[in-house]
């Protein structure tokens, strides 16, 4: 092939990120690029000149030979393409396949060239599983509070006069608490949607991180946790932090809830300045660590904790909390890590730049 303009290297099928197979009018392979060879575990050179059905066997969800079903060369003469669909290779690998039938003449002619595109289907399958998990999780989490709300309201409406004021109060408090659970779930789903679509907005103002940490602890104590379970340490020299106060409260609340639910012993919160690394440049921002004295997280599980639907050994919750925390921290330009705490449990540590009001 001739070189392109300005000495550019000519087009090479091996430059394509997806697999490509081209067969001639007789079904013999003329192009079999390296991306397709990786997917199939085949030798590209050995595939050339062979029948395309032998070098790229494909089966549908029912195990049928896809090439026999579609019959590219002897099927409908009006067909010029196959839309992308999920198929399986001989080794059981899932791939996404699309095909183009080049005909001469273009309308109703014989197939003179078959062009097949193949790409790894694992990412798409993973995405579909995540969506199915999301639907299943939402349905499960909504069912319990909505069943409770429906049950208590129906009972009150049907038998209002039979209950005394104390009984009515207990039922209404339960309905109110379950309504709060539904509201929290909907808020989490909206946060996930904004994080995934890049539409998460940060409205910055001056935030006292130490005060925010104290409020988070006070909220846990008000919810019934013993006050002596929490220990807060605040370092000196914290810079002025321009952050989104609501999102900071959400980050701290989720991390404390995670430590209480999945950890054990004392929950330690440390707020401290973070140096910029430049001499006399002052603090770059601040870091907050939340640690417990439980079993901790196994090193091999650490990369998974910020994924959607991750849960520890103790089940409960939607599994979205830490995913949302990571998204909120990164929206501020910060980072979050997990490691083993000195006292043996898990330690989550996030660092945030001081920021400026101009970022709002």
Q: How high is the mean pLDDT in each 10-residue block of the chain (360 residues)?
A: 54 88 96 93 92 94 90 91 90 91 92 95 71 71 84 92 92 89 82 82 92 93 90 93 92 91 89 74 86 82 76 61 90 92 88 74
Residues 284, 305, 259, 239, Cα dihedral to 10°: 10
Residue with tokens 């919750």: 317
Distances (CA, A) of 69 to 57, 61, 107, 182, 266: 12, 12, 22, 48, 64
List beta partners, residue 350: 288, 336
pLDDT at 27: 96
The answer to whether the bond into 125 is cis (omega within 30° of 0) is no
Contact 45, 37 (CB under 8 A): no
Instruction: State whether residue 282 is helix, strand or coil.
Output: coil
pLDDT at 360: 42
- Evaluate the CA torsion angle 152, 158, 163, 165 in order and state its sign: positive
Contact 35, 55 (CB under 8 A): no
pLDDT at 300: 74
pLDDT at 277: 59
pTM score above 0.85: no
Q: Do domains 5-120 and 205-359 have the same CATH topology?
A: no
pLDDT at 155: 92
Class (C level, CATH) for 5-120: alpha beta
pLDDT at 282: 64
Question: Starting at the edge strand that comes first in sequence, how are the strands of the sheet with 29-32 ordered?
Answer: 29-32, 19-23, 110-120, 94-104, 81-88
3-state helix, strand, coil in the chain (%, to 5): 45, 25, 35
Residue with tokens 């417990």: 292
Fold of 205-359: Heat Shock Protein 90 (3.30.565)
Fold of 124-197: Helix Hairpins (1.10.287)
C-alpha 251, offset from chain centre: 17
Domain layout of the chain by residue ranges: 5-120, 124-197, 205-359
């Amino acid at each position: 092939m001739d070189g392109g303009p300005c000495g550019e290297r000519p087009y090479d099928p091996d430059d394509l990120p997806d697999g490509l197979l081209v067969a001639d009018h007789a079904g013999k392979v003329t192009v079999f690029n390296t991306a397709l060879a990786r997917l199939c575990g085949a030798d590209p050179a050995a595939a050339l000149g062979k029948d395309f059905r032998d070098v790229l066997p494909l089966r549908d969800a029912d195990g049928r030979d896809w090439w026999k079903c579609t019959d590219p060369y002897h099927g409908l003469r009006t067909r010029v393409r196959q839309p992308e669909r999920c198929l399986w290779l001989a080794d059981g690998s899932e791939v996404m396949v699309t095909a183009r039938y080049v005909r001469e003449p273009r309308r109703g002619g014989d197939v003179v060239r078959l062009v097949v595109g193949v790409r790894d289907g694992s990412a798409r399958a993973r995405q579909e599983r995540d969506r199915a998990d999301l639907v299943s999780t939402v349905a499960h989490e909504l069912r319990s509070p909505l069943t409770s709300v429906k049950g208590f309201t129906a009972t009150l409406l049907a038998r209002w006069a039979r209950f005394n004021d104390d009984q009515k109060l207990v039922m209404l408090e339960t309905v109110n608490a379950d309504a709060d659970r539904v509201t929290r779930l909907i808020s989490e789903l909206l946060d996930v949607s904004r994080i995934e679509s890049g539409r998460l907005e940060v409205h910055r103002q001056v935030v006292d991180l130490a005060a925010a940490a104290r409020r988070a602890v006070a909220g846990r104590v008000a919810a019934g946790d013993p006050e002596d379970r929490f220990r807060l340490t605040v370092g000196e020299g914290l810079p002025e932090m321009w952050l989104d106060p609501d999102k900071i409260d959400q980050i701290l609340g989720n991390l404390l809830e995670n430590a209480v639910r999945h950890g054990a012993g004392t929950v330690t919160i440390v707020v401290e300045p973070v140096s910029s690394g430049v001499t006399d440049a002052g603090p770059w921002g601040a870091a907050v660590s939340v640690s417990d004295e439980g079993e901790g997280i196994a090193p091999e599980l650490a990369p998974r904790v910020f994924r959607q639907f991750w849960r520890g050994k103790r089940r409960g919750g939607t599994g979205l909390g830490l995913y949302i925390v990571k998204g909120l921290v990164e929206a501020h330009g910060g980072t979050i890590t997990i490691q083993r705490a000195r006292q043996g449990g898990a330690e989550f540590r996030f660092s945030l730049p001081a920021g400026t009001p101009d970022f709002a």
